[in-house]
Amino acid sequence: MDATFWALVGLVIFLALMVYVKVPGMITRSLDDRAGKIRDELEQARRLREEAQQLLAEYQRKRKEAEKEAADIVESARHEADMLVREAKQKTEEYVARRTALAEQKIGQAERDAVNEVRSNAVDIAVAAARKLLADKVDATVAEKLFKSSVQDVKTRLN
């Protein structure tokens, strides 16, 4: 009997001992348990992936909503700024128009005052010149006649 035979006998005894001790069942159970754990981990990973996708979709939706809201706010601010600019421009134009009208009124009043003053001065100068001319040319009797006729003119004009 050679060593190969004894190696074969040892192997058969070893395998029989393994079957007797139920090692293949333990290995199968261990592999089944490990497969179950792997299956559970894969299921958990699938659920986590789905949750992550849902969260990603939700955050993308929220981001889009926030971007839309920001765009709306910017548009609203732009519209309000345009409206404020138009209102300020209109108020400025109204202010300038009022100030121009006021300045024109003041200029017109100044012109009227100047014309009245020139007329008043012209009347005063004319009266003074007439008095001097009359004083030089008219004697007492003529002056009395002129005075009486002037008083008569005033009386007729007052009535």
The segments of the chain whose pLDDT lies below 50 read: none
* pTM of the model as a whole: 0.42
| Whole-number Å distance between alpha carbons of 95 and 99 | 6
pLDDT score, position 23: 75
CB 79 within 8 A of CB 87: no
pLDDT score, position 25: 79
CB 111 within 8 A of CB 119: no
Q: How many CA atoms lie within 13 A of 83 on its CB side?
A: 6
- Amino acid type, 130: A
